[in-house]
Amino acid sequence: MSVREIPNIAPPEGKLGVLLPGLGAVSTTFIAGVEAVKKGKAEPVGSLTQIGHVRLGKRTEDRNPLIKELVPLTDISNLVYGGWDIYEDNCYDAALNAGVLQCDLLDQVKAEMQAVTPMPAVFEHRFVTRIDGPNIKKGANKMELAEALIDDIRNFKQRTGAARAVMVWCGSTEIFQKPGDVHQSPAAFERGLAENDPEIAPSQIYAYAALKSGVPFANGAPNLTVDTPALIALSKAEGVPIAGKDYKTGQTFIKTLLAPGLKSRLLGLDGWFSTNILGNRDGEVLDDPDSFKTKEESKLSALDVIFQPKLYPELYGDFDHKVRINYYPPRGDNKEGWDNIDIFGWLGYKMQIKVNFLCRDSILAAPLVLDLALFLDLAQRAGMSGILEWLSFYFKSPMAAQGLYPEHDIFIQLMKLKNTLRWMKGEDLITHLGLEYYD
Ligand SMILES: NC(=O)c1ccc[n+]([C@@H]2O[C@H](COP(=O)([O-])OP(=O)(O)OC[C@H]3O[C@@H](n4cnc5c(N)ncnc54)[C@H](O)[C@@H]3O)[C@@H](O)[C@H]2O)c1
């Protein structure tokens, strides 16, 4: 199908399996939250698919349905979960350990959380050096490990009765990697799996298994994972959507709110210094310089794209951009981020903005996991495959077609997402031209 034809969207019949490599803070906060919402114990704050509206037609028409009324999304009552982790804790114990949610809420969904137990993980210590665990698959080579994951997916669907599944990577951040020869084509990648190529990371094996199983894949971490020519080509060949990478939650979320505003007024930038303290397991993993490098690259990219220094060298040609993350255990999941922004205005007069965001990492990320799962499934039922750039709204480091710079401005990303939903239903796209109101 050409993506420009309005698609026929298959109805969301049956259960949808949400497969989560990594059952840590984000995954367990997501599952507990959805189960609490299902029981009427909490509201799905932050989720576009659950509480977001979309305007249709002219401003005078007063048509603002919920997104879930416009497009046929799977209802959350039909979600079932599966996952892998290197630790053996079930999701209830993992959530207690992550310390994000309070016990009284967790206890109300205890049975549902305890029912989700981790399948043995594909893991290689070299790629995530700060953690180690007992629940790990063994295989003669990486192809065998991929086949074991494909079996897991098949068995999960049989066990839960899921009609369809999506996979959302919630595992740790792997060390920094650039695509190598093995990542250049599906054939090279498959040869590499069989030959145990050291450049194939565990997250890539999960992504391969998902694509070969017809399961859409989103990457919530900054790892390379599906962002390689090999796996992008495979997603097209298998007719499966992919999206990534790195959830846009705390500091970068705020950055992509502020930066487009400063740019819109053509205020200049001398520097942007961002620092964080974070005490959860993610913080511990990012304490390794090689994992931090992956995160740093992801965090640094937004400003260059938003400010367009080549077009505005006098305003943005020479700004300092520094990002630091400090592992500080007492803070747990409640990250604190500070930004110092040095800007200048009319006649070069200097000003400063200070931002102190006391956020909760997994509380910000959980609704993104839900939205990504439901939108990936929608996209697949609409016949889409390859990179879903319209989901870049959710990511710090959005994947885009080769040769295309990614869009980082969150307001443009949201417009793109909503226009895609309008297009899927044959509604007029909204350009905000609006001259017709004055004819
Ligand atoms: N929370 C946020 O706001 C946010 C934002 C952007 C990105 N992320 C990314 O999301 C991911 C999850 O974050 P988190 O806070 O839940 O981290 P976490 O450390 O609590 O959970 C990650 C889990 O993944 C497991 N794991 C690691 N490698 C694995 C493998 N190969 N297979 C299966 N399991 C594996 C770990 O054992 C751990 O339990 C991290 O990569 C993080 O950088 C989080």
| 339-359 residue pLDDT tens | 999 999 999 999 999 999 999
* Top-ranked range on mean pLDDT: pick from 165-174, 286-295, 429-438: 165-174
Residue whose CA is at the smallest distance from ligand 1 atom 3: 361
Q: Is 246 in the pocket of ligand 1 (CB under 6 A)?
A: yes
Task: Assess whether pLDDT exceeds 80 at residue 2.
Answer: no
Give residues with Cβ within 8 angstroms of 192, minimum separation 6. 142, 182, 199, 200
CB 378 within 8 A of CB 243: no
Q: Is 86 in the pocket of ligand 1 (CB under 6 A)?
A: yes
- Range in 118-127, 213-222, 233-242, 331-340 the model is least confident about: 331-340
Q: For the chain, report the end-to-end CA distance as a whole number of angstroms.
A: 38
Is residue 16 left, alpha or beta, with left meaning phi > 0 and alpha meaning psi from -120 to 50?
A: beta
The Å distance, Cα 174 to ligand 1 centre, comes to 10
pLDDT in tens, 66-89: 999 999 999 999 999 999 999 999
Q: Is 249 in the pocket of ligand 1 (CB under 6 A)?
A: yes
pTM of the model: 0.96
Distance, CA of 333 to CA of 26 (rounded, Å): 10
Task: Assess whether pLDDT exceeds 60 at residue 3.
Answer: no
The Å distance, Cα 25 to ligand 1 centre, comes to 7
Q: Is 225 in the pocket of ligand 1 (CB under 6 A)?
A: no
pLDDT in tens, 156-189: 999 999 999 999 999 999 999 999 999 999 999 9
Q: Is 173 in the pocket of ligand 1 (CB under 6 A)?
A: yes
Site to substitute for ligand 1 among 100, 172, 200, 299, most atoms within 8 A of C-beta: 172
Q: Is 325 in the pocket of ligand 1 (CB under 6 A)?
A: no
Q: What is the mean pLDDT of the chain?
A: 95
